[in-house]
Structure 1
Amino acid sequence: MDHLERAKREEAAPLIEAAFQRRLVEEKVLHEREQQLEVELSRQRHDGDLKEKNRLARMLENKMIFQESVISRRQAEFDQRRVEREERIKQIIQARKQERDIKRKKIFYVRSEEERIKKMRKEEEACKREEAERRRKEEAEHKAKMDEIAEKQRQRERELEEKERLRREALLGRAPEGISRPSELPAGSRTTEPVVLLLLLLQLLGNMFLGSGEKGLKALVQLHLLNLIDGASQHPRNLTDGLLVAGLLHSNLIAGNLIAGLVAVGLHLRILIVWQVVVAELHLQIRIVLVVVVGAARQNPGDLQGPGTHNAVDPTADRQMVGWNECRNFCTWELRMVVNDK
């Protein structure tokens, strides 16, 4: 099979070579013909172009004028656009520069403001610490001063109490022998029965009056009270309901008005105390002087005798007179102390 194919190719090889040579000759002739045709066409186009050139040569001057006008116009546009571009570039550069300057200024302002705020806060904190320290020192000094004042006040009160105690002891030691103190009255003269038991608690104006000018008022009140007791003792026969003495109130105001009165009605003596207190101050340091009620409740008041007489029938009348004397002695002793204080 291979030998047959090879034999065919050996026979066909010269035929293929001859066909190739013939084709080369034909293509060469065709190429030369086309070259000549192209040259002829090119010569014709050149001749036509020359004719066109000669025809258009008359328009060359107009062409140059138009060309120059176009070139000049375009050059002007170019120059204008270049100037505008340069102006825009300058504006952009200036704007960016301004932005950079503004940014730097903002940064500088922000930093300066932060530093100022920090400094101000530090100063405020320092001022607050100093103020707190100053207040603490002032409070400590004020507390120390108040403690010192309180201590001085307590010391003064102790000294005043000691002086008052010594003064009272001295006054008690200087009391006249003729004036009997309530504690020095004879035991037989005291009465525990409700015949004429009169306990006159005269803590009158102990610390109620401010200053020594009011001691005269204290003496006047006690004198008035003694007169009331004397007046009541003059009518023992009519003393059936007893003696009612209620106290005297005092406020710190000089305008305080104290009225005490006794009223004798009919044959029976009744002692009444009328109170009238005008107080114009809220803080009233009220001291109450109580005069305890003692009444003689006898079924037969006609049996009572006058003061200083002995009733053999009813010894209660004698005890009643002893009670009156005890009350008078007590008031006289208190009055003497007031006079000595003044």
Structure 2
Amino acid sequence: MTKKLTYQELELQIEELKAQSADLQSQLEIAKESATQSRETARLLQTLVDTIPSPLFYKNINGVYEQCNAAFAETIFGIDKDKIMNKSLFDLGEYIPHELAKIYHAKDLILLKNPGKQVYETSVKCADGSIRIFSFYKASVLAENGKILGVVGVMLDVTELKNQKHELKETNRRLETYSMTDPLTSLYNRRKFNAVFPDCLRVAKRSKRLLNFAIIDIDNFKKYNDNYGHVAGDDALVTIAGLLQSKLLRADDYIFRLGGEEFGLLFYADDEIMASQLVSDIRLAVQELAIPHKANDNNRYVTISLGLVTIKRSDNSMLELYKMADDLLYKVKRSGKNQILARIV
């Protein structure tokens, strides 16, 4: 037989039920607040991710996109990100060629089988048709138990950086060229000569090649400038420089403007006879340019004088060899000009 509750007992139970109800209501409010906070946090994170200008994405272990930001969807695919969610690269063939999808998937598989990080650089055809260079930074995503869940990736557009590096490299190359080049004749200058000559001596000694060094001086060039003007003098220098360049045909032969009307030649020859023949041809070719020079002593055209040193079995330094050639040239200038004086060392 059911025991009848007294009024006080009934009142106590009602109070307990009210307390339980209030507790449940409180827990419900907390749960609602927590859910609201979770949604707000999720929206905050999504807003944050979408604000980042670099493409971001997350793929699960099956290669299916579960998350990406607006930059990824718009820049790479040119579509709303909702059309990317829950699809793999192979489901997006309208935007990504199958062959490229295979390549990207192969990269992902490495991280899906062996947890770690990946950094690589590649060209990507973007939604606007432009080809951009991206650095990919990817990593495996792991659960607390170490199980691989998927792959997260960030793409940094480094196109401008690459272009700037290329421009900087090209600028440095041009500056290096300018620093080693005579601005008037475009020949190498004395600075380049000082750098190249020791190298040529080492190559000649090691390979037993016959290296030759000649100093060329335009005869009575000051008188030429006095009579025809410096503009005409510059034109004559440029013309002779072009002729000298045309005579040196080997890739490892050099022609320099050493200063003023003085040029230097560094060239290899099979023997001393061929070396002598080359400089003789150069001397005659300059005279045959027929550049008028009424103040050139016994010749009415521009002529040159040369001092030639053929380096056969010598351990002389660059400075010693230079002085030998310069002394030979000086003797030529004193003995009538338009000649060659040679020496074998």
TM-score above 0.5, yes or no: no
Larger radius of gyration, structure 1 or 2? 1
Taking structure 1 as the reference length, the TM-score comes to 0.21
Structure of greater relative contact order (alpha carbons < 8 Å, 6+ residues apart): 1
Q: Larger % of helix: which?
A: 1
